[in-house]
Chains A and B, each alone.
Chain A
């Protein structure tokens, strides 16, 4: 009895050679591709870490507490994503819609934080052209922000679909695939937050540059 109930919740086995849905399989393959995309940018950041010849340096400009808040917001959106998918699969339309909307809102809040951060940095004199930290920082976080933006638009469309009744439990795969993308973008942010903010927080001028010359 319990087993029957458990299998009922599983997606039906697809009529494909592997039994996996083709669109879902493609999303996984795409995420593999995107790993290489972000990986190359993150590797570039790490290679260039501490190589800026002029300020502002990371230690002077990064605001860990504020970014921790935006990181928390983005990670909570993944929780909302899980709950949204759960309720859509259950066929609870209103709860599903609300949780997907929460994903949209949290994603938008994260984008707001990033916009605010970019603006503050520019105000304090850090642009992509200022130094190598600015170059790598803005391009890497900007590319990630572009991913979040696409995800927010995608989720907004799905929330609308859920509200209109075109996204239901029988085609919840549409949401599941978008969810794969969303979780991936979150995970990438964990890496970026670690690499740019936590590890580089104390990075000042490189040896031999600026006031702190070490012999």
Chain B
């Protein structure tokens, strides 16, 4: 292109090399960004796990004095915050990054540099929150950060300020990633892939991204209010100044309940890919799974007050939210029956990903049912703030989201790396995790029914809670051993590679059509899509008539199975940042690397740190922010050749 454009002086040469640290700092490749998300969030997973194990050690016997109440408050706050914002969400983001372009037959996401920015901001946000450990004053107001308890009056240390600044920084990363995946999925699909032919994991990613984009701003609002209250003395949550102490709970849970579905929907998507593959059947009732996911995401906005049944909102509000909470179990149940229907009559192979996925169904069902139990306000009044609630949401988040994610790790590892994870170690990993998990959290149901309160660092000797708590602690360590086996498996499998090939599981969706690991440009030729589970039906055309009864599902003949149609010429499929680069020639163009996302995120991090220290530091961050912004907006996606 010969058109003029504004230019911005470059301080460093644009990164070019494909290896070494600079190639990672400047990368815009969705696969590398996905890998970085995975590694960083797994490190946080270990940190959050250690926090959990410390709490379990403290609770293993009555009147234990291993950890004092102050440290215990910090541990449960940081455990929750870490696991929600730094582990489950970014682990899901690792899968989004790796899989979405591969599943929809694209060469990258719609905005590769924005994608890099999301990762770097996520990295810095996590570091800001955890930097509080160094000050010795980690956040201690719970992952829900209830104000006014988390306000400056009752919580004068810096801990909750770190928490609120860190979450606001992380929110920027999440919203940017959410916007990116919405546009990618809507706009970058391979030719012929209508919305009802996209893989189910891609659908769940789209729904999750919409939830992220709409819910995270509410957390940002809550965070800004709490921050101005803490730092500048405003009155949002200060009743002496006219603020309402219940206000925070409303705002936080209006974010917080959709957040629950942000955590679980990606895992549901993973399971909905694994089950059909190993049952060798298409997903049962695909449209129902899609619409159930959308219904969950929609109804998720009308249930937040079930976290507040004991606040005293009155019978009308409690009844309304009780009904909406029970209703949301319906689309969730629809999904469970769809998964069972997928298994029914299938030719089932029980290997590690499948074992994790089946365990997901069982554990998630248990967690879901205990959720329906406390959808009833009188029941909830008994269970509020007891270990019953802890049991419930760990069955959903560990037994649900985490087992789903592990299923995805074992399932797609061959695609990510080109080799399998060891099957025997995988089954050991699965068995230890499942047994440990149930031993840890099942006893919490009856501990909670018996009235053992959450968030209290110890309990009296004569309550009869010792043996259950000891069992729970042992279970926790068995679960941790399972994670250790996973880490061993990663290294063992790397040293003793069993080459997987492109399509090791006899897969159904487009990611299995390319090589393992995929080339930088993902696909040598952008695939032409004709069916749902396109890759499968092109491998086994004889099974088409079994599942497609009417012509309505099919693209008109003529366009069928023709690899030499001219549309298949390998040009970038309309990448937003790639527009204008592909006129007339068929070479594959990928966006060049860029260090501006890193610089911009560094500026955001410094500004965040400024709210924790003083205003001058904010000023020091602004130049980096502007440098990143202007450099980025004036940098061409591809340098002229």
What residues of chain A have their CB less than 8 Å away from a CB belonging to chain B? 14-18, 20-23, 25-26, 29-30, 32-34, 36-37, 40-41, 44, 47-48, 51-53, 128-129, 131-136, 138-139, 143, 161, 164-166, 168, 170-171
Chain A nearest Cβ from B226, distance in angstroms:
12
Structural contact, A132 and B241, CB atoms closer than 8 A: yes
- Tell me which residues across on chain A come within 8 A of B575, comparing CB atoms: 22
Residues A51 and B188 in contact in the complex (CB < 8 Å), given A26-B110, A129-B234: no
- Tell me which residues across on chain A come within 8 A of B188, comparing CB atoms: 16-17, 22
- Tell me which residues across on chain A come within 8 A of B220, comparing CB atoms: 37
Chain A nearest Cβ from B622, distance in angstroms:
13
Residues A40 and B189 in contact in the complex (CB < 8 Å), given A135-B235, A166-B4: no
Q: Main SS of chain B's interface residues? A: helix
A-B contact pairs, 5 of them (CB 8 A): A16-B573, A22-B111, A26-B182, A29-B179, A51-B244
Structural contact, B111 and A135, CB atoms closer than 8 A: no
Which residues between 94 and 121 of chain B lie within 8 Å of chain A, taking CB atoms?
A: 110-111
- Tell me which residues across on chain A come within 8 A of B111, comparing CB atoms: 22, 26
Structural contact, B243 and A18, CB atoms closer than 8 A: no
Contact partner, A26, options B179, B214, B236, B579, Cβ 8 Å: B179
Proximity string of chain B (232-273) to chain A, C-beta cutoff 8 Å, 1 when within and 0 when not: 111110000111100100010010000000000000000000
Structural contact, A17 and B217, CB atoms closer than 8 A: no
Residues A33 and B187 in contact in the complex (CB < 8 Å), given A22-B575, A128-B232, A128-B234: no
Which of A40, A47, A139 has the most B CB atoms < 10 Å from its CB? Answer: A40
Nearest B residue to A136 via CB reads: B236
Structural contact, A135 and B179, CB atoms closer than 8 A: no
Q: Does B80 contact A (CB under 8 A)?
A: no
Known: A25-B187, A44-B221, A133-B242; 6 extra A-B contacts, CB below 8 A, are A21-B579, A22-B111, A40-B218, A139-B236, A161-B6, A166-B3
Chain A nearest Cβ from B575, distance in angstroms:
7
Q: Main SS of chain A's interface residues? A: helix
Structural contact, B217 and A40, CB atoms closer than 8 A: yes
Structural contact, B574 and A166, CB atoms closer than 8 A: no
Chain A nearest Cβ from B308, distance in angstroms:
15
- Tell me which residues across on chain B come within 8 A of A51, comparing CB atoms: 242-244
Chain A nearest Cβ from B150, distance in angstroms:
17
CA distance A40 to B225 in the complex (A): 11
Residues A17 and B234 in contact in the complex (CB < 8 Å), given A33-B213, A131-B242: no
Structural contact, A33 and B574, CB atoms closer than 8 A: no
CA distance A21 to B235 in the complex (A): 43
- Tell me which residues across on chain B come within 8 A of A20, comparing CB atoms: 186-187
- Tell me which residues across on chain B come within 8 A of A53, comparing CB atoms: 241-242
- Tell me which residues across on chain B come within 8 A of A52, comparing CB atoms: 242
- Tell me which residues across on chain A come within 8 A of B228, comparing CB atoms: 128, 135, 139
Nearest A residue to B630 via CB reads: A157
Structural contact, B225 and A22, CB atoms closer than 8 A: no
Structural contact, B242 and A36, CB atoms closer than 8 A: no
Structural contact, A15 and B574, CB atoms closer than 8 A: yes
Residues A48 and B244 in contact in the complex (CB < 8 Å), given A22-B574, A139-B224: yes
- Tell me which residues across on chain B come within 8 A of A30, comparing CB atoms: 175, 179, 213
Structural contact, B110 and A33, CB atoms closer than 8 A: no
Contact partner, B215, options A36, A132, A139, A161, Cβ 8 Å: A36
Nearest B residue to A23 via CB reads: B576
Q: Does B462 contact A (CB under 8 A)?
A: no
Q: Does B193 contact A (CB under 8 A)?
A: yes
Which residues between 553 and 574 of chain B lie within 8 Å of chain A, taking CB atoms?
A: 573-574
Structural contact, B241 and A135, CB atoms closer than 8 A: yes
Structural contact, B225 and A44, CB atoms closer than 8 A: yes
Structural contact, A132 and B243, CB atoms closer than 8 A: yes
- Tell me which residues across on chain A come within 8 A of B579, comparing CB atoms: 14-15, 21-22
Structural contact, B244 and A47, CB atoms closer than 8 A: yes
- Tell me which residues across on chain B come within 8 A of A139, comparing CB atoms: 224-225, 228, 234, 236
CA distance A23 to B213 in the complex (A): 16
Chain A nearest Cβ from B524, distance in angstroms:
19
Nearest B residue to A133 via CB reads: B242
Q: Does B183 contact A (CB under 8 A)?
A: yes
Structural contact, B247 and A132, CB atoms closer than 8 A: no
Which residues between 1 and 22 of chain B lie within 8 Å of chain A, taking CB atoms?
A: 3-6
Structural contact, B193 and A17, CB atoms closer than 8 A: yes
Nearest A residue to B580 via CB reads: A171
CB-based closest 4 A-B pairs: A22-B576, A132-B242, A37-B217, A15-B574
Contact partner, A135, options B214, B221, B243, B573, Cβ 8 Å: B243
Which of B178, B233, B243 has the most A CB atoms < 10 Å from its CB? Answer: B243
CA distance A5 to B217 in the complex (A): 43
Nearest B residue to A40 via CB reads: B221
Chain B nearest Cβ from A48, distance in angstroms:
7
Structural contact, B4 and A165, CB atoms closer than 8 A: yes
Chain A nearest Cβ from B496, distance in angstroms:
42
- Tell me which residues across on chain A come within 8 A of B243, comparing CB atoms: 48, 51, 132, 135
Structural contact, B251 and A40, CB atoms closer than 8 A: yes
Residues A17 and B186 in contact in the complex (CB < 8 Å), given A22-B576, A33-B213: yes
Structural contact, A129 and B232, CB atoms closer than 8 A: yes
Nearest A residue to B194 via CB reads: A17
Contact partner, B110, options A22, A44, A170, A171, Cβ 8 Å: A22
CA distance A53 to B183 in the complex (A): 47
Nearest A residue to B110 via CB reads: A22
Which of A36, A41, A129 has the most B CB atoms < 10 Å from its CB? Answer: A36
Nearest A residue to B246 via CB reads: A47
Proximity string of chain B (194-224) to chain A, C-beta cutoff 8 Å, 1 when within and 0 when not: 0000000000000000000111111011101
Structural contact, B235 and A34, CB atoms closer than 8 A: no
Nearest B residue to A209 via CB reads: B242
Structural contact, A26 and B576, CB atoms closer than 8 A: yes
- Tell me which residues across on chain A come within 8 A of B175, comparing CB atoms: 30, 33
Residues A47 and B247 in contact in the complex (CB < 8 Å), given A22-B574, A25-B183: yes
Chain B nearest Cβ from A56, distance in angstroms:
13
Structural contact, B242 and A18, CB atoms closer than 8 A: no
Structural contact, A25 and B186, CB atoms closer than 8 A: yes
CA distance A5 to B236 in the complex (A): 56
Chain A nearest Cβ from B36, distance in angstroms:
22
Structural contact, A132 and B235, CB atoms closer than 8 A: yes
Residues A18 and B213 in contact in the complex (CB < 8 Å), given A53-B241, A132-B243: no
Chain A nearest Cβ from B568, distance in angstroms:
14
Chain B nearest Cβ from A131, distance in angstroms:
6
CA distance A51 to B213 in the complex (A): 31
- Tell me which residues across on chain B come within 8 A of A128, comparing CB atoms: 228, 232-234
